[in-house]
Amino acid sequence: MRSLLFLALSLSVPSFLHAQSSGWLAIPEVTQKPEPILVDELDPEAPSSEQLIKWMSSAARHGIDIPQSKWLQLAADPSPQNVRQVAHEYASYLDTGRLKPEVYQPSWHIKDRPSLPVLEDHMSADSLDLVESKLPQYKLFVAALRRLEAWVGSVEKHFPKGLVLEKGDRHPSLLRLNQWLVDLDMADRLPAGSYSSSHEAAIKRVQKKYRIYADGQLGPRARRALVAMTLDRIKVLKVNMERMRWLPRTLPYPHVMVDIAGFNVAWVTSETRKRQFKAIVGKPSRQTPVFQEEIESITINPYWRVPSSIASTSILRKAKKDPGFLKREGFSVYSSWKMGARKVDPSTVNWSQYSRRNFPYRIEQKPGKVNRLGRFKLDSPNAFSIYLHDTDRPELFKRERRTFSSGCTRVENIDQLIGSILRYQGMGSQVDGVLKQKETGRLKLRKKVPLYFVYFTAWPDRHGRIRFRDDIYHLDGALLAKL
């Protein structure tokens, strides 16, 4: 057992273990025969210490670093009990993450049920991987991490020290460069024959990011910038793999997923089948939170009951500048939020005397062309008053960065999403009636649809390639610093 432990330690911990002069604890050279495989006497089916150590030595492929102190702990005491204790800690990292979302991303409200308590009483060598995420995207993250780490270790091998490439040059390393830029999500397709203007453009973007002279040439400085970007991408991948471990190990099908940083909504019916729609999400000052709920019904031609946080800020500001704004856009004003509150003529209100602190009114907007919710709203009651809906400003879907809402998510072609949901539930005969209905109404679904709002700054596209996004809410920082 010590020989395998020594191997695992030598792979996982640098050579300081062997350098007594450095002051670190050195592992004595093994001269005796390896000890027999040890198992838990109370549970013969439990994995052996060797199996657990080998399993833990694979932590790096999941973007998890087992602290060196833990390997030293095992070197000092390789007993089955100690090995199992350290393995249990690693398993918990792999199961629900190393970091607590409530500390490092407080806007994350999706609850994950740990697998470990269920498994630990009957864990066998064949079930050690059961704590890993089974979401299809997770495997793609693992593969992408392996590729990026390989680039860091092979730059000198593939790109000679004195190599400089400029437009028109040919070199055997060009194919390697093409793949590297694709893995970094800095290019899609690049010519293989010679260094082209497309290569120059991609390298210039990298050079500008790291504030070096952007000449578009692949020289020593550009290669250093590519290595720096690769290391940064590796960090971002690890952050998002941690977020994925915060999610349940599997998600039910079908479900609707709101990809906040990706500005899209997906109707997902299996691991390989989904339909995506462009989305508008909350602006940085009114961020769309991460949470899960269920869509239970569809409201057609909805009234918009304006949340107090919006009525007392943006709506109030517009009313102060233009008192006729409320009537013109179909807003009704009520004296309070109480049931039966009297209706108030907005032209009789002195809006200038109110602020966010003393704003007493409830404001509702009737259905129509300028209604902020558009023609449809997917009802999913939640503590955040966040839901999916149509929009009165479809032109905003043409923008690349779509952070324009006050927290809710606007969905392009939401009628098509509704049609997909209804047909999947055997309610296809009602689609035409829903889409043509002129009055306000509500259609209850036969079965509630799971709804997930998630935030990932790296995510696979439909071809399985990892795409990196802007951290629109600046939520990666705390995780990057800790991981």
Identity (one letter) of the amino acid at 69?
A: S
Q: Return the closest-CA partner of residue 389 out of 401, 345, 406.
A: 406
Name which of 365, 364, 386, 367 is nearest 375 in CA terms.
367
Beta bridge partners of 331: 365
The question of whether 389 is a catalytic residue gets the answer: yes
3-class DSSP assignment, residue 401 = coil
Q: Please check whether residue 454 is in contact with residue 257, taking contact to mean a CB–CB distance below 8 angstroms.
A: yes
Helix locations, 160-196, DSSP H: 174-183
Go through the chain and tell me how many residues it has.
Answer: 483
Helices 220-246/80-96 angle, 10° precision: 100
CB 77 within 8 A of CB 107: no
CA 298/CA 295 separation, integer angstroms: 8
Residue type, 278: K
Is the CB of residue 232 less than 8 Å from the CB of residue 210? Answer: no
Which one of the listed residues 158, 255, 408, 474 is annotated catalytic?
408
Angle at 170 between CA 169 and CA 172, to 5 degrees: 140
Would you say 328 and 267 are in contact if contact means Cβ atoms under 8 Å apart?
no
CA dihedral 37, 43, 45, 48 (to 10 degrees): -30
| Sign of the C-alpha dihedral computed for residues 344, 346, 351 and 357 taken in this order | positive
Beta bridge partners of 343: 334
Strand, helix or coil at 471? coil
Residue 381 to residues 135, 261, 267, 425: CA-CA distances in angstroms? 26, 23, 19, 20
Cis ω on the peptide bond leading into residue 360 (within 30° of 0)?
no
Instruction: Return the DSSP state at 332.
Output: E
Enzyme catalytic residues: 389, 408
